[in-house]
């Protein structure tokens, strides 16, 4: 694995003096503290001893962190540096159990460090940590070789679950909203928390198996905790999914996250609606391309729209 070069986000600025006299000095202190937190740890999980401009980190830390009777300035700053990395790595570990299983824990941790070094957190919430992970996997295929396509599908699916969990929602339509509009005039928006995914692997079934395996492992460890020392994991490895075209809608319903498999025509109608086509245009264009002409499409499409509306997927764009 190649080590990434220092990114442009790693500044070489110097800390302000012992007192803060302006907002700009406060911003500079905030920048250098963020730089200290985001700098990757050493292979032994300690703070790097050399600053980004070649100076000693001890020298830099002493300029804006006071020592106390137990810890030096370096040691105090190191606590924050280590805890930042332990926290963000733990979050990615929890948010991406499927990707972690595909790669293995050691390889996943190395990938996570490289990803966060390239794309450090830029949000107030840890929820957004993985928002550029798919992009990183495409930019750096070596980290997931020889399973890049599977890894990307898994990362997309797991990120879609994060979006579905607490993404924003618009007011869902009701019957009164659409009574006066014909299908060739009606435009329906899809909820922002809804993700439509076209995947090459059945990662939905795979993730269910992964989570079940982890839950079974936790139950086993809990039941043995009083009677014996840990003897290592007894979990059976989860078989990786084979190639299989899967179309998914990842959404939430009554505060629970779900994934729903879609028929090809179902998926294409929804993607057409997502692009702003009218209901009539979306249905007509999809059915004209479908090779399945022996079906009762009017009844099928009515059932689809009834289900989608009941799940709250639609809103009326302003």
Co-location of 29 and 126 in the same domain: yes
**Please, which residues bridge with residue 259 across strands?**
250
* Residue 207 belongs to domain spanning: 168-223+239-315
Overall domain count for the chain: 2
Q: What is the pLDDT along the chain (318 residues), one digit of tens a residue?
A: 434 444 444 445 555 556 777 888 888 888 889 889 999 999 999 999 999 889 999 999 998 889 999 999 999 999 999 999 999 999 999 999 999 999 999 999 999 999 999 999 889 999 999 999 999 999 999 999 999 999 999 999 999 999 999 999 999 998 778 877 888 999 999 999 999 999 999 999 999 999 998 887 555 554 444 444 444 445 678 999 989 999 999 999 999 999 999 999 999 999 999 999 999 999 999 888 887 878 898 999 999 999 999 999 999 998
Do 208 and 299 share a domain, yes or no?
Answer: yes
Handedness of CA 140, 211, 203, 238 (dihedral sign): positive
Task: Enumerate long-range contacts of 271-277, CB under 8 Å, 24 or more apart.
Answer: 271/196, 273/187, 273/188, 273/189, 273/190, 274/190, 274/196, 276/187, 276/317, 277/187
Measured CA distances, 60 to 19, 28, 65 (Å): 15, 14, 9
Q: In terms of residues, how long is the chain?
A: 318
CA within 13 Å, CB half, 132: 13
Report pLDDT for 3: 40
| Bond before 146 cis per omega within 30 degrees | yes
CA angle 190, 194, 197 (to 5 degrees): 110
Residue 122 resides in a domain = yes
Which residues, in sequence order, are CB contacts of 265 under 8 Å at separation 6+? 286, 287, 290, 292
- Is residue 74 within 8 A of residue 61, CB to CB? The reply is yes
Has residue 2 been placed in a domain?
no
Q: Select from 94, 115, 146 the last residue of a domain.
A: 146
For residues 26 and 34, the answer to whether their CB atoms sit within 8 Å is: no
Distance CA(35)–CA(38), nearest Å, equals 5
Of 115, 146, 177, which residue constitutes the final position of a domain? 146
Q: Are residues 77 and 202 in the same domain?
A: no
Same-domain status, 255 and 176? yes
Question: Torsion-angle region of residue 54: left (phi > 0), alpha (psi -120 to 50) or beta?
Answer: left
Single pTM value for the model: 0.84
Within a domain: 93: yes
Residues 219 and 251 in one domain: yes
Residue with tokens 């990120």: 159
- CATH number of the domain enclosing 309: 3.90.930.50
- The token pair at 205 is 């079934």
């Amino acid at each position: 694995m190649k080590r990434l070069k220092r990114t442009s986000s790693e500044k070489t600025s110097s800390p302000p003096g012992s007192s803060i006299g302006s907002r700009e000095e406060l911003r500079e202190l905030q920048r250098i503290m963020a730089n200290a937190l985001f700098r990757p740890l050493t292979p032994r999980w300690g703070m790097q001893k050399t600053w980004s401009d070649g100076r000693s980190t001890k020298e830099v830390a002493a300029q804006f962190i006071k020592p106390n009777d137990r810890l030096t300035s370096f040691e105090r700053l190191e606590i924050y540096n280590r805890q930042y990395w332990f926290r963000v790595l733990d979050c990615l570990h929890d948010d991406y159990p499927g990707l972690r299983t595909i790669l293995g824990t050691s390889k996943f941790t190395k990938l996570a460090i490289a990803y966060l070094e390239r794309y450090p957190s830029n949000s107030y919430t840890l929820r957004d940590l993985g928002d550029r992970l798919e992009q990183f996997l495409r930019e750096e295929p070596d980290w997931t070789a020889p399973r890049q396509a599977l890894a990307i599908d898994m990362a997309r699916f797991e990120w879609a679950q994060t979006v579905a969990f607490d993404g924003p929602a618009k007011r869902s339509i009701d019957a009164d909203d659409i009574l006066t509009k014909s299908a060739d005039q009606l435009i329906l928006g899809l909820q922002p928390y809804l993700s439509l995914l076209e995947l090459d692997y059945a990662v939905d079934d795979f993730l269910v198996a992964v989570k079940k395996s982890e839950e079974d492992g936790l139950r086993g460890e809990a039941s043995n905790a009083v009677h014996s020392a840990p003897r290592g994991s007894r979990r059976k490895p989860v078989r990786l999914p084979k190639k299989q075209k899967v179309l998914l809608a990842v959404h939430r319903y009554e505060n629970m996250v779900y994934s729903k498999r879609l028929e090809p025509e179902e998926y294409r109608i929804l993607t057409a609606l997502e692009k702003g086509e009218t209901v009539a245009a979306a249905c007509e264009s999809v059915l004209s391309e479908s090779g399945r002409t022996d079906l009762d499409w009017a009844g099928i499409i009515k059932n689809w729209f009834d289900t989608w509306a009941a799940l709250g997927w639609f809103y009326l764009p302003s």
